[in-house]
């Protein structure tokens, strides 16, 4: 089994992370691979292999066993490069964001679903933040602002629904969509920087979970693109209500940002701090 094949990308282009135990084995595999395949990783040698591969295909030898061997060498080199980039990024994050860790988007969404959380910008959170978490968030906020991390790429904050036709405003499906966006403003996609809008169909295609409307010709989503320093939080809906009654016990938040490997979690407290999924990924991060 080729361990590098476990590094796959979703349709949105976000790389998913393999199971933590496999990744630990992968670290050792990479060391051995690096020691035994230094010649293969040489850029000039890869270029020669690619040229030979293309020449053999053009000559009608594309289905031969010889070409299959070349395909395997090229794929191994590409997969090694992808895995190496992931490990190097994890180590860079760990050096500058020592308590943060990466989790796959699917597993993060599972935690959000299991704990019935919604996602919004950290600035909208009205609950309690433990003092030690405040200090860490303040520290990493400065670090992230100073560095060119590619966080929150392709993520928007939908502020409201723009409706061109006055008759459409009273439709039930439009009202359902407005209500959804008011609670779930953080979406995949990019807002046009010229008029700060995106078409409903574009947003719906990237976010199939949002309500469907019968006719979207007159609908646009208004908002802004998140920058790399914007902090997000997943928390119970009641934590975003202005008159939320603060309790002594902090409740269930996860402070995070999106990254090309899924999600980078910066702080967790409350019930989620006991999440088996989060603790597994946190443990893996400590082994890199």
DSSP track, the chain: --GGGG--B-TTSPBPPPPHHHHHHHHHHHHHHHHH-HHHH-HHHHHHHHHHHHHHHHTT-TTSHHHHHHHHHHHHHHHHHHHHHHHHHHHHHHHHSTT-EEE-HHHHHHHHHHTT-EEEEGGG--S---HHHHHHHHHHHHHHHHS---TTTTEEEEEEEEES-GGGGG-HHHHHHHHHHHH--EEES---TTTSEEEHHHHHHH-TTSPP-S--TTEEEEEEE--TT--EEEE-GGGG-TT----SS----EEEEEETTEEEEEEE-GGGGG-HHHHHHHHHHHH-
**Range scoring the smallest mean pLDDT among 99-103, 125-129, 137-141, 237-241:** 237-241
The pTM of this model reads 0.74
Q: What percent of the chain has pLDDT over 90?
A: 32
- Whether the per-residue pLDDT at 258 is higher than 90: the answer is yes
Averaging pLDDT over each range in 145-154, 162-171, 240-249, 272-281, which range is the top one?
145-154
Q: What is the mean pLDDT of the chain?
A: 78
Query: Helix 20-36 crosses helix 276-287 at what angle (to 10 degrees)?
Result: 20
Whole-number Å distance between alpha carbons of 266 and 281 = 12
Which of the four pLDDT bands, split at 50, 70 and 90, describes residue 56?
confident
Residue in this structure with the two tokens 């560095």, named with its chain if needed: 147
Distances (CA, A) of 12 to 48, 59, 189, 207: 32, 36, 10, 10
Q: Choose among 94, 147, 151, 133: nearest CA to 254.
A: 133
Which of the four pLDDT bands, split at 50, 70 and 90, describes residue 4?
very low
Whole-number Å distance between alpha carbons of 116 and 101 = 22
If you average pLDDT over residues 153-181, what whole number do you get? Answer: 85
Whole-number Å distance between alpha carbons of 283 and 154 = 28
If you average pLDDT over residues 200-210, what whole number do you get? Answer: 92
Which residues does residue 150 pair with via DSSP β-bridges, in sequence order? none
If you average pLDDT over residues 259-264, what whole number do you get? Answer: 90
Query: Helix 105-114 crosses helix 276-287 at what angle (to 10 degrees)?
Result: 150
Q: Choose among 279, 267, 190: nearest CA to 231.
A: 267
Higher pLDDT: 179 or 14? It is 179
If you average pLDDT over residues 51-78, what whole number do you get? Answer: 77
Contact criterion met (CB below 8 Å) for 218 and 165: yes
**Range scoring the smallest mean pLDDT among 35-39, 142-146, 227-231, 252-256:** 35-39
Which residues does residue 222 pair with via DSSP β-bridges, in sequence order? 160, 197
Averaging pLDDT over each range in 52-66, 144-158, 169-183, 246-260, which range is the top one?
144-158
Position 143 scores a pLDDT of: 94
Which of the four pLDDT bands, split at 50, 70 and 90, describes residue 243?
low
Question: 219-225 and 232-235 as β-strands: parallel, antiparallel, unpaired?
Answer: unpaired
Position 78 scores a pLDDT of: 65
**Range scoring the smallest mean pLDDT among 32-36, 94-98, 182-186:** 32-36
Averaging pLDDT over each range in 36-40, 123-127, 206-210, 241-245, which range is the top one?
206-210
Residues 6+ apart with CB under 8 A from 211: 173, 176, 177, 180
Whole-number Å distance between alpha carbons of 233 and 227 = 15
Residues 6+ apart with CB under 8 A from 62: 56
- Whether the per-residue pLDDT at 281 is higher than 70: the answer is yes
If you average pLDDT over residues 85-96, what whole number do you get? Answer: 85
If you average pLDDT over residues 90-105, what whole number do you get? Answer: 90
If you average pLDDT over residues 204-229, what whole number do you get? Answer: 89
Which of the four pLDDT bands, split at 50, 70 and 90, describes residue 55?
confident
Which of the four pLDDT bands, split at 50, 70 and 90, describes residue 187?
very high
């Amino acid at each position: 089994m080729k361990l590098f094949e476990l590094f796959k990308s979703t349709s949105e282009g976000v790389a998913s992370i393999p199971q933590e135990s496999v990744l630990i084995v992968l670290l050792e595999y990479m060391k051995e691979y690096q020691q035994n395949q230094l010649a293969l990783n040489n850029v000039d040698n890869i270029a020669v292999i690619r040229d030979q591969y293309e020449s053999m295909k053009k000559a009608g030898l594309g289905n031969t066993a010889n070409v299959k061997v070349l395909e395997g060498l090229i794929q191994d080199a590409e997969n090694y490069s992808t895995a190496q980039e992931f490990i190097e990024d994890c180590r860079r994050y760990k050096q500058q964001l020592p308590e943060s860790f990466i989790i796959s988007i699917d597993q993060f969404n599972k935690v959000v679903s299991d704990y019935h959380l919604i996602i919004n910008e950290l600035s909208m959170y009205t609950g309690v933040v433990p003092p030690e978490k405040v200090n860490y968030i303040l520290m990493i906020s400065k670090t992230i602002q100073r560095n060119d991390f590619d966080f929150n790429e392709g993520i928007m904050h939908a502020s409201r629904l723009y409706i061109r036709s006055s008759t459409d405003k009273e439709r039930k499906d439009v009202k359902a969509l407005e209500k959804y966006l008011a609670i779930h403003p953080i979406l995949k996609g990019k807002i046009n920087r010229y008029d700060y809008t995106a078409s409903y169909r574009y947003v719906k295609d990237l976010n199939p979970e949002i309500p469907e409307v019968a006719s979207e010709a007159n609908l646009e989503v208004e908002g802004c693109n998140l920058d790399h320093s914007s902090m997000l939080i997943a928390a119970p809906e009641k934590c975003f209500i202005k008159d939320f009654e603060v309790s002594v016990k902090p409740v269930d938040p996860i402070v995070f940002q999106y990254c090309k490997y899924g999600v980078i979690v910066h702080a967790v407290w409350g019930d989620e701090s006991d999440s088996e999924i989060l603790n597994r990924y946190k443990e893996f991060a400590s082994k890199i």
